[in-house]
């Protein structure tokens, strides 16, 4: 991603979020809760009426029509919250909901979406596993006149995508980069400081925005020698983590520490694009590293990472209040279902290969040990007990 383009995107996105903001205040929205159903493997991705594991089986008939909500996986806490927030808020708005999780398996997600279309869903909200793998099934949606909202992750190369709703992904990256810059006082301190980088799944369009945003902040310090990446791994591809898996992040870091930091060399900072990768880094540090603890970033404010933050094992996490994203998406669904246009605040940043997709970008903020109580507990996102 070209730096100039990203900077332009940031300006547009920042102005847009400043002008419009995102969703309701957190306290207006229902509390997050984890749904009880398990993820359906591909062969069990059954039609909504007879799906034992589909949420809609138990849902009271909503007058507004049936909405399909496809989530990638239950493995990561955030998607459980996204799913349950979407379901609760759609039901409250009078819709019936077919909520499915796909166990991070692309074919499962395709089958679930096919079923949603054949079961008569009037609109689909999809958080894709792989942004490039839904072209064929979404062509069926288009054919059936079913609008599609890409949720959190952009769906690429499909002209069936009507809208995109997400947090400002580029800003997530700049917030992480700026946190490291300020924590190490890179403007004033002499350095050099050692840093390592880890990002997400190459099939997730967001990962490049996160990494690009952070690198726009950090690259000048790498270029000037104030930041040193001892592993030499600086490209997106070298720093990517398949499926955002904690285990993969951990084993890559085991190797990085063994080759570069096992002789007492200090690792000052780690840019991790999200909490599941930050957790892998923290596990690896706990097992292999004895030096001063590095500044470590993350994203999502997953419970395990907030606990690590409180324990001094992770410095920050970008907080994306999934209640706000759900509120915004429900407004979009409602507008489309009533024959209107969905509210958006960005019509420039997200081209999915078929053209720019009108988007609504919510604003992320960072949480750390100093502000997490206000952001996460006072807002009702977590209880004190969740974090013990
Ligand atoms: C989401 C992040 C999440 C990651 C892994 C990204 O698309 O935006 O919030 O941590 O996927 O699931």
Distance from the alpha carbon of residue 92 to the mean position of ligand 1, in angstroms: 26
Which 3 state secondary structure label does DSSP give 208? helix
Does the CA dihedral 178-183-189-190 come out positive or negative? Answer: negative
Pick from 152, 246, 153, 268: nearest CA to 198: 246
Pick from 56, 49, 60, 106: nearest CA to 83: 56
Distance from the alpha carbon of residue 300 to the mean position of ligand 1, in angstroms: 8
Over residues 55-86, the pLDDT tens digits come to: 443 344 568 999 999 999 999 999 999 999 99
Tokens of 55: 């949420």
pLDDT exceeds 70 at position 33: no
Distance from the alpha carbon of residue 347 to the mean position of ligand 1, in angstroms: 22
Tokens of 17: 């979020």
Nearest protein CA to atom 10 of ligand 1, as residue: 274
Average pLDDT, the chain: 88
pTM of the predicted model, to two decimals? 0.85
pLDDT exceeds 70 at position 2: no
Identify the residues whose C-beta falls under 6 Å from ligand 1. 76, 78, 152-153, 200, 204, 206, 244, 274, 276, 299-300
Largest CA-CA distance found in the chain, in angstroms, rounded: 65
Residue ranges of domains in the chain, CATH in brackets: 3-168+321-362 (3.40.50.2300), 170-319 (3.40.50.2300)
pLDDT exceeds 90 at position 177: yes
Which of 175, 274, 314 has most ligand 1 atoms within 8 Å of its beta carbon, as the pocket-test mutant?
274
Task: Give how far Cα 93 sits from Cα of 65, 86, 110, 340, 378, Å.
Answer: 11, 10, 27, 16, 26
Distance from the alpha carbon of residue 210 to the mean position of ligand 1, in angstroms: 10
Q: Averaged over 290-300, what is the pLDDT?
A: 95
Pick from 335, 262, 341: nearest CA to 93: 335
pLDDT exceeds 90 at position 100: yes
pLDDT exceeds 80 at position 219: yes
Q: Averaged over 338-364, what is the pLDDT?
A: 97
């Amino acid at each position: 991603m070209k730096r100039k383009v990203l900077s332009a995107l940031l300006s547009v996105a920042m102005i847009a979020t400043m002008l419009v903001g995102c969703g309701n205040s957190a306290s207006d929205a229902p509390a997050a809760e984890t749904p009880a159903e398990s993820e359906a493997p591909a062969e069990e991705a059954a039609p909504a009426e007879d799906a034992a594991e589909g949420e809609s089986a138990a849902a009271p008939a909503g007058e507004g029509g049936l909405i399909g909500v496809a989530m990638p996986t239950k493995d990561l806490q955030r998607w459980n919250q996204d799913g349950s927030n979407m379901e609760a808020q759609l039901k409250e708005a009078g819709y019936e909901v077919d909520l499915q999780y796909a166990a991070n398996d692309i074919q499962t997600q395709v089958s679930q979406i096919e079923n949603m279309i054949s079961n008569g869903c009037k609109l689909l909200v999809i958080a894709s596993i792989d942004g490039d793998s839904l072209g064929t099934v979404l062509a069926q949606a288009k054919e059936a006149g079913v609008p599609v909202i890409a949720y959190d992750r952009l769906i690429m190369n499909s002209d069936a995508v009507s809208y995109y709703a997400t947090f400002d992904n580029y800003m997530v990256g700049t917030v992480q980069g700026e946190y490291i810059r300020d924590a190490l006082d890179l403007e004033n301190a002499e350095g050099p400081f050692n840093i390592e980088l880890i990002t997400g799944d190459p099939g997730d369009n967001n990962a490049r925005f996160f990494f690009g945003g952070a690198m726009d902040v950090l690259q000048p310090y790498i270029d000037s020698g104030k930041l040193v990446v001892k592993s030499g791994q600086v490209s997106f591809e070298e720093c990517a983590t398949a499926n955002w898996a904690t285990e993969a992040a951990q084993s890559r870091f085991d190797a990085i520490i063994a080759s570069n930091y096992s002789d007492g060399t200090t690792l000052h900072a780690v840019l991790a694009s999200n909490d599941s990768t930050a957790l892998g880094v923290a596990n690896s540090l706990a097992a292999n590293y004895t030096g001063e603890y590095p500044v470590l970033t993350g994203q999502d404010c997953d419970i395990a990472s907030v606990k690590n933050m409180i324990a001094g094992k992770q410095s920050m996490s970008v907080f994306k209040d999934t209640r706000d994203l759900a509120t915004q998406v429900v407004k979009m669904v409602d507008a489309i279902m009533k024959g209107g246009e969905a509210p958006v605040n960005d019509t420039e940043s997200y081209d999915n290969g078929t053209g720019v997709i009108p988007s609504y970008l919510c604003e992320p903020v960072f949480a750390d040990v100093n502000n997490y109580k206000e952001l996460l507990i006072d807002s009702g996102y977590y209880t004190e007990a969740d974090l013990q």
